[in-house]
Structures are given as structure tokens and as C-alpha cells.
Structure 1
Amino acid sequence: MTAPIRVLLVDDQHLIRLGFRLVLDAEPDIEVIGEAADGRDAISETARLDPDVILMDVRMPVMDGITATERIVATHPGVRILILTTFDLDEYAFAALRAGASGFLLKDAQRAELVGAVRAVHGGDAALAPRVTRRLIELVGPGAVPATPLPGSDALTDRERDVFRAIADGRTNSEIARDLFLSESTVKTHVGRVLTKIGARDRVHAVILAHRHGMTDTR
């Protein structure tokens, strides 16, 4: 039997944590293993509990979610962080994505969205709406800074390079499969190989790397 996805809830509002706990604990493949009310407690609870996924609020007392995300990603690179926000174009949330979060989730998300997002980031996918991905791309583009070679990109096959550029453009696996005339399972395999070769944590990190290093169709 597959081990459940172990989740840590981080939010300064008790009722928010309670609501998420009730939804997630009802799923057979997800287990809420702890809670924290600020970023500092999130760091200590991460070290103590070693969760798979963290639901992280951005604006909290003592230490904000951006700082906590950056520190957790640096010390626990295997942990996936989902940012909790009230607005889907919140600049604070984008800062947390740049700090290493794997996606973000609106606090009023429906049950299926919440559960799906937790499973997606745990599986190495990104939990981002298309317009959010586009906004992220705008924020992390290379601008006037000369692009530098991306370590590992020379090991990509032609097909993997096509998939990488599609990821950088914010396309989903189903969209990549359609555009490249591949099955979704084949796309998923290519995505995994791309992330491994370029040393990306997940798709969000891959988008950031692609645009920082000019690995896009619009470069």
C-alpha cells in the first residue's frame, strides 16, 4: 500500500487550518501531520515532522511565508510548498514562487481544487492556473540581462528540448501531448527527464530556469 501524502498546514488563522484539515483528512491518500501559525514555527515543524507537502500562508506574524519558504526549500529540497493566498495575482505569492514554492492555491478553493493541488505538487507537477503561469513568466523573464547557458540543457534530446520550451510557455501535459502528437504518458516521462537533467525541483522551477537562461521559443 502506498504511503499517504504527509501535509503540514501553516496559517495564522485557526479556522483556515481547521477547514483544510477536515477536507484533507477525509482523503485516504492524504494525512495532515501537523500545524503551524507562523513561518518560524513552520521551519521548526518541517524539521521535526519532515512533511511531503506544506500549505503555506504568505502574510503571517513573526515570520512571513516567503522567508519561511526560502529557508525550507534550502534545507529540505524534497518538500513541496503550496502557497495560500486570497488573490490569484498576489505579488507576495509570486515572490514565494520565486523563493521555491511549487504553486499556489486560493484560500476559498473548492474541495476538489485543494485535494488536486496537493496531489499535483506531491507528484512533481505545478499547481498554477494558466494566467498565473503567464504572470510568473512576465516576472521572471531575463529582460536585458544576457542569457547564460543552463547547466544540463546540453544533455536534452531534441524532443526533451521541445517539451522544456512548452513547459516554459505554461502548457499542461495534455496541451503538450496535443501539440507534439504524443501520448500524455510519454509527455510525463519526458517532463521527468527534463526536470532531472536541468536540476529543477518541479515545473515552476523549470519555468523560472527557462526564462532566466533564454531557453524559450520567444528568446
Structure 2
Amino acid sequence: MVIDDEALVRSGFELILGLDPEIDVVGTSDGRSAHEDIGRLRPDVVLLDIRMPHINGLEVLGRALQLEQAPVVAMLTTFDVDEYVVEALHLGASGFLLKDTDPHQLAMLVKTLAAGGVVLSPAVTRSVVSGYLPSREGSADAEAVARLSERERGVIYLASLGKSNREIAEIIHQGVGTVKDDMSAILAKLGVGTRVQAALIAQRAGIADPRR
């Protein structure tokens, strides 16, 4: 489902995503009826504009994630730096992407979200990692990442690339349950609540593929 106050954005995303036979755009909204539409249509993935004149995207995000069958939500923004990005991440957004994302990549990003991965637009990520996300100094992040086991560092490295638990399991030759346990341990050790926040910390700490 695509939620944006601009009809051109909604129709553009719907048209591009509709070309992929594996994706069904169940609906679009300008925000005013977004919560009711999400509850009625039960989308797996929601692309949600952060800034809308009729309703704050953060309010839609918070209410959507409280639903019994909560969708995966990624925030849409036109800005390389948006002060709402940080709050959206803390509320539980699974990522963020710019509205001018390459159309050829859009369907792949939606599938990544549906599979449980994270989507971090490089342009926005650079701003967040460089210090826009208020938390700890880079050295503190590096120390936290250093407490991870080698396999946990591999898991969070792959998660920072947008890989889902299933994809990570295939790459490291472990079961999905093991990866879920590793991810829970990673969140606890890094002191964060979501894999997006963990991925950002890993990127800010300069984590590299431990398999190399």
C-alpha cells in the first residue's frame, strides 16, 4: 500500500510496482483515511510519506504498528536529511527511501521489506550515520559492535545490506531460527530495539564482512 499526499507519487509508485507480477498494490491513500484503509486492506508492506498536510506520517506509523496484523512500514521522504527519520526509526519503521528512488530498484526494495529485511536509502543513511541520529559517539558504537561474536558480526553486516533472516541463514549456512536468536542477542548487546537501528550502528562503526 502506498500512502502519500501527492497523487502523482501514489500513481507513479502504483504503476511501477504493478508491473511486477509478484507484487499486488492493494490500495493507495493520501493519508486522511490511511489508518482505516490499512486495517481494512491488511497490506504486508506500507510505503508511507513522512510529511503530509492532513496527518502526520509518524501518527499513521505508530497506529499501523499497533494493529494485530501490523504491516512492515518504510518511510518515504524527498529530503536527504529529515528530522522525522530518527523518530520514525525509534517508532519501528523498517527503513526509509527517497521518493526519487530508481524505478528499477523499487520492486526489489519492496520484496526486501516483505521478506523481513531493512531498506536504507544510501543518501539518507549517510546523513544518519554521519551523526544525524543522536545516540552514541562512533567509538562507543565500535566498542558495542566489538562485543558481538564473529557470527553475530556476520549477521548484522548482512542485515545492514538489507538481507532478510532467511537470506542470511542461507549465506551463513545456519537455520532461520538460529539467525533470529542471533539477531535478538545483537539487539540486546547493542541496546536497541529494531534491526534498522542495529544496522545503522554497525554501519557507523564501520563493520566489515568478517568472512573476509
TM over 0.5: yes
Identity score, percent: 33
Aligned to 2:140: none
2:22 to 29, 45, 56: 29
Describe the superposition over 1:27-53 as per-residue Cα deviations: whole angstroms up to 9, x where unpaired.
010000011111x52211111111100
The amino acid that maps onto 2:16 is V
Aligned to 2:49: 57
Would the alpha carbon gap of residues 129 and 16 (structure 1) be closer, same or farther in structure 2, given more than 3 Å must change? closer
1:142-181 correspondence runs (5 A): 142=136, 158-163=149-154, 166=157, 170=160
| SS of equivalent to 1:33 | coil
Aligned to 1:66: 58
Separation in 1, partners of 2:161, 2:14: 31
Would the alpha carbon gap of residues 78 and 202 (structure 1) be closer, same or farther in structure 2, given more than 3 Å must change? farther
Would the alpha carbon gap of residues 164 and 26 (structure 1) be closer, same or farther in structure 2, given more than 3 Å must change? closer
2:172 to 186, 191, 194: 186
Separation in 2, partners of 1:115, 1:43: 23
* Contact 1:163/1:187 (<8 A) preserved: no
The amino acid that maps onto 2:46 is I
Aligned to 2:116: 124
Q: Which runs of 5+ in 1 are unaligned?
A: 1-7, 144-155, 174-181
Deviation at 1:104, TM superposition (A): 1.3
**Count of residues in Structure 1 that have an aligned counterpart in Structure 2:** 187
2:83 to 66, 78, 91: 91
Aligned to 2:2: 9
Give the aligned CA root-mean-square deviation in angstroms.
3.7
Separation in 1, partners of 2:206, 2:8: 45
Structure 1 length normalisation: TM-score? 0.68
Structure 2 length normalisation: TM-score? 0.70
| SS of equivalent to 1:56 | strand
Would the alpha carbon gap of residues 49 and 105 (structure 1) be closer, same or farther in structure 2, given more than 3 Å must change? same
Describe the superposition over 1:83-105 as per-residue Cα deviations: whole angstroms up to 9, x where unpaired.
11111222223322222111112
Separation in 2, partners of 1:16, 1:94: 23
| SS of equivalent to 1:84 | strand
1:141 to 107, 114, 135: 135
* Contact 2:119/2:162 (<8 A) preserved: no
Aligned to 2:37: 45
Separation in 2, partners of 1:85, 1:187: 36
| SS of equivalent to 2:11 | helix
